Amino acid sequence: MSSSKPAWSERELPAFFRQWRTDWKDEDLSPDNYLDFEGGLRFVLAAAWLFCPETVQYRGCVILKERFSQGTVDDWFTNLGDDRRRIEAAAKITVEVSDEEDGSYGPTVTIWTSPAISTSG
């Protein structure tokens, strides 16, 4: 029989946030409070733009709007057939998020694009 209680993850707050909360002597402060205190809303908006970029759906592929060129994508289809995985990989940004090894700063965000994919196979 399944339980009707929610299952919560035990995600730990970043070390810099815990230290900030301790410095303010208020363990009830939340990440929302941090944004208000530190004027962080502009950074959240920038991150939202990076993690949720505008996309174009074309010929069954999802491609970043800023990297979309109909002629180029049509050429990729001509040379790669229906290999949508390779076509999409050529025009996407990859975002990797990882924790600092010592936990001292918070997550590291790495943003990169795939190298040009050869259309010759």
The tens digit of pLDDT for each residue in 37-84 reads 766 777 778 878 777 888 888 988 888 888 788 998 899 889 888 888
Specify the pTM. Answer: 0.47
d(CA 73, CA 61): 10
d(CA 85, CA 13): 36
**Are the CB atoms for 85 and 103 separated by under 8 Å?**
no
Query: Between these two residues, 120 and 44, which has the higher pLDDT value?
Result: 44
Query: Between these two residues, 114 and 14, which has the higher pLDDT value?
Result: 14
Average pLDDT over residues 17-43: 84
The pLDDT value recorded for residue 73 is: 87
The pLDDT value recorded for residue 115 is: 55
